[in-house]
Amino acid sequence: MPAHCAPQTLSITRPDDWHLHVRDGAALQTVVPHTAAQFARALIMPNLKPPVTSTAQALAYRDRIHAAAAAAGHSTFEPLMTLYLTDHLPPDEILRAKDAGIVGVKLYPAGATTNSDAGVTDMRKTYATLEAMQRAGMPLLVHGEVTSPEIDLFDREAVFIDTQLIPLRRDFPALKVVFEHITTREAAQYVQTAHGAIAASITAHHLLYNRNAIFTGGIRPHYYCLPVLKRETHRQALVDAATGGSPRFFLGTDSAPHATHLKEHASGCAGCYTAHAAIELYASAFEAAQALDKLEGFASFHGPDFYDLPRNPGQITLHRESWTPPQSYPFADTTLKPLAGGEVLHWRMA
């Protein structure tokens, strides 16, 4: 479409972020207001140190997040909480969690990503708890990567589907599963065609970048996340999935803040920070695919529909406007570099 015919504003139902890391303590003061300015709700990941493994811990964490939002003037922001699945999460904790409004239980294969040391070492050890989740209608949210060192880093998601996810779903056919932050054509195809209650979240950075971004002009640690960015054919498959209108795909930023000095490090942490401009980054990706009309379903409808929660009242409006996010934010007693900081973006939320 010629530039002078392109839409200048875009209003959509207020969206939700279905996969978010906000950390804890003073860090909340920077990152929670960024999310709360755009999203009505966000599904909060439980990979704190130590992880959030009980309903009581999750509710106390929710209060701290809520207080950080309210202090910035976003008192209606609703953090949706998750528990961290370990080899020892007791089945009766699932009922307590369900009653308290906990929205999901997160599976990290042990060692798969940041703060996942307490993760599951053998799926069999979790079967009684998964049984309780299936019965209670509690969704399982999976970080879908195998951790075996002999499997190539770029193949770990595809191998997870065949060796872990398919057997798991065979054993628990009624368990609701969200394949979190998918990064490959294989994952998109599996979610699109599988039977039963399954959906996937997709990040903005996996829609916008392929793995070249990590290596352009030198090693660029702020583009390093897990699952790692993949080759261009996979990025295109994710764009097709996100913009295709299927209710099985929805927005989850996986915004994952780390202090600058821990990213720019000999052993840099995995995680891209995108909460400062999340909906703008998604709008860029959808516009590049000429699919801005599909953004609302992906960002605002498919997530709540899958989680059996009401769609949000109210709207947000994006304007076509060039602006440059800052290169750095204060972050507790250090700093945080956002993705696309110092670069020009072409959509801006009013």
208 is in the binding site of which of ligand NCD, Zn ion, none (Cβ under 5 to 8 A by kind)? none
Give yes or no for residue 41 binding ligand NCD (CB under 6 A): no
Give yes or no for residue 113 binding ligand NCD (CB under 6 A): yes
Give yes or no for residue 254 binding ligand NCD (CB under 6 A): yes
Q: At what angle do helices 127-136 and 91-99 cross, to 10 degrees?
A: 30
Give yes or no for residue 65 binding ligand NCD (CB under 6 A): no
* Binding flags for ligand NCD, 268-307, as an x/- string (CB under 6 A): --xx------------------------------------
Other beta carbons less than 10 A from residue 53's beta carbon: 20
| Closest of 112, 200, 192 to residue 156, by C-alpha | 112
Q: Is residue 63 among the annotated active site residues?
A: no
Report in angstroms how near the CB of residue 2 gets to Zn ion at its nearest.
39
**Which distant-in-sequence residues (6+ apart) come within 8 Å of 64 by Cβ?**
24, 28
**Which distant-in-sequence residues (6+ apart) come within 8 Å of 183 by Cβ?**
157, 206, 227, 228, 229, 230, 234, 238
| Closest of 332, 339, 337, 325 to residue 260, by C-alpha | 337
Give yes or no for residue 255 binding ligand NCD (CB under 6 A): no
Report in angstroms how near the CB of residue 108 gets to ligand NCD at its nearest.
7
Give yes or no for residue 51 binding ligand NCD (CB under 6 A): no
- Kindly tell me the sign of the dihedral angle through the C-alpha atoms of 239, 240, 245, 249: negative
Closer CB to ligand NCD, 31 or 226, in the complex:
226
Binder of Zn ion out of 254, 275, 295, 316 (CB under 5 A): 254
What residue ranges bind Zn ion (CB under 5 A)?
A: 254
What residue ranges bind ligand NCD (CB under 6 A)?
A: 21, 47, 113-114, 143, 225-226, 254, 256, 270-271
